Amino acid sequence: MNMTKTLLSVMLCCCCSIMAFGQNMTQEIEKIIKGKQASVGVAIIHNDDIIAIANEDKYPTMSVFKFHIAVEKPRDFDPFGHAGFA
C-alpha cells in the first residue's frame, strides 16, 4: 500500500511539472511575441501535447507548412516508422 502511495505521488509530481513546463513555455513565447508589429502564430506538437498561440488567425503561408505535416503524419500509423511512401 505504501509503495502505491509513493508511486502515485511521483506520478502526480511528474504530471504537475509537465503541465507547469507547458505553461512556462507558453508564457515565454507570448512574452517574445508581445509588442511586435507582426502577426505571429506558434504551434508546437510533442507526442500528444499541443501548444498553440494565435491559432485562430489565418496566415497566408499556412498551406506551405501543412505539406510537412502531411508527409510526417503517416509515420504515426506505420509501426516501422516509415513515411508510407514505397
Closest by CA position to 53, among listed 29, 35, 32, 24: 29
Q: What angle do CA 10, 13, 17 make, to 5 degrees?
A: 140
Identify the band that residue 69 occupies on the pLDDT scale cut at 50, 70 and 90: confident
This prediction's pTM? 0.43
What distance lies between CA 16 and its chain's CA centroid?
A: 16
Q: Distance between CA 11 and CA 4 in Å, rounded?
A: 11
Report which of residues 19 and 75 the model is more confident about.
Answer: 75
Q: Which of 37-46, 47-56, 66-75 has the lowest mean pLDDT?
A: 66-75
- Segment 1-24 shows an average pLDDT of 55
Mean pLDDT is highest, among 10-24, 31-45, 56-70, for: 31-45
Q: Distance between CA 39 and CA 6 in Å, rounded?
A: 47
